[in-house]
Amino acid sequence: MHIFAPLVALVTLASGVLADGACSGPNAHTAPPKGAIVVDATGSYTGSYVEKQDPIIRRSKLTDNYKTVSEGVAKLNPKKKSVQMVFVRPGVYHEQVLISRLASPLVLQGYTCDAKNYASNQSAPAVTITQAKSQKDIPASVTDGAARNDMTSTVRFKSDNVKVYNLNIANTVSNGGQALTVSVNATDYGFYACNPTGYQDTVLADKGRELDAKTYIIGATDFVFGRYAQAWFESCDIETIGAGYITASGREAANSSATYVFNRARVFGKSGVNSTSLGRPWRQYAKVIWQNSELGDVVKPEGWSAWDVTFSTAGLVFKEFNNSGPGTVKGSRVAFSGQLDKPVAITEVLGERYTKEWFVDTSYL
């Protein structure tokens, strides 16, 4: 197994001594809101514990210091109906995190000097959750492929209605097989100014509705994939770090609502000229649209690739609209792709009332 160390995983800092005034501005999120569960890798931040009712003296007292994200998440109340929040102080957290099913919406907020820009996550003070696990590390007794994939993921999401802000999340396995960074097996998700980094299968968008906005996604092989999700990627930067394929849609039927739409994306990378495809079909009804996007020279003139197995390409929906850049070579695209006459509207993916949905933060659109 090869391990690579992305920039975000190399951030070193002393989060416990950081003052909330280390950065400022209208978009700075440096102090946890009242009622949030606070995680601090050093345990020295005075808010890295929550109030509990003392049954003896019958009043609240401060207790519980959360030094890992998993410890903080474990203290979420699964029966509570109102919004819960976990606020993560700067640091590098070496762990896998499981978000189990909750009755409430959830916000995961990373400390940031600029909540609207993932670039603020790229240097201290920042929050990084990282680990290195691939399918090779999963016991052979686990035979279900989907379960094996999920067990490799750095963060595993099982609860509906979740918003994630300003987190770097990494799986540092490099070219060592399937090794997920983010696994979403629920619906109504928003990822805002985040940075998921991996190599193969970085982001699993597998069920329900999902919005990724102003997010920086890094990978090489099939690094946005899934079967059933309706996912909209708005103003995202997509970096390729090895020859391969950006998307692998597993849409299974012609009447499935599963769709990936990349709108106003920017594709670039270190993988070399003509080294990557916009996608390949994991299943024979794969559906992916790239529109209004800047495609760098890493994108092959053919645009798209076939899967290793042989199946009909008649049901594929691989489309583009109004893209620009050296990776946009009209007349050279594969026969099973095409150009749209007009862009896909976000309402076609997230619904007519998407602006009213809790998981949609319209300030990022």
d(CA 267, CA 269): 7
Q: How many C-beta atoms surround the C-beta of residue 95 within 10 A?
A: 13
- DSSP-derived 3-state class of residue 364: helix
Residue 25 falls in which region: left (phi positive, over 0), alpha (psi -120 to 50) or beta: left
SS3 letters across 7-32: HHHHCCCCHHHCCHHHCCCCCCECCC
Contacts of 143 (CB under 8 A, 6+ apart): none
Q: How many C-beta atoms surround the C-beta of residue 44 within 10 A?
A: 15
Q: Are 282 and 249 in contact (CB under 8 A)?
A: yes
Residue entry with tokens 């029966």: 79
CA dist list (Å): 197 to 19, 99, 123: 28, 19, 15
Largest CA distance in the chain: 77
CA dist list (Å): 310 to 226, 253, 337: 19, 17, 17
Q: Which of 236, 237, 334 is nearest to 277 (CA)?
A: 334
Active site amino acids: 222
d(CA 74, CA 268): 38
CA dist list (Å): 361 to 43, 176, 271: 31, 35, 33
Q: How many C-beta atoms surround the C-beta of residue 88 within 10 A?
A: 29
d(CA 129, CA 168): 6
Residue entry with tokens 């092989």: 221
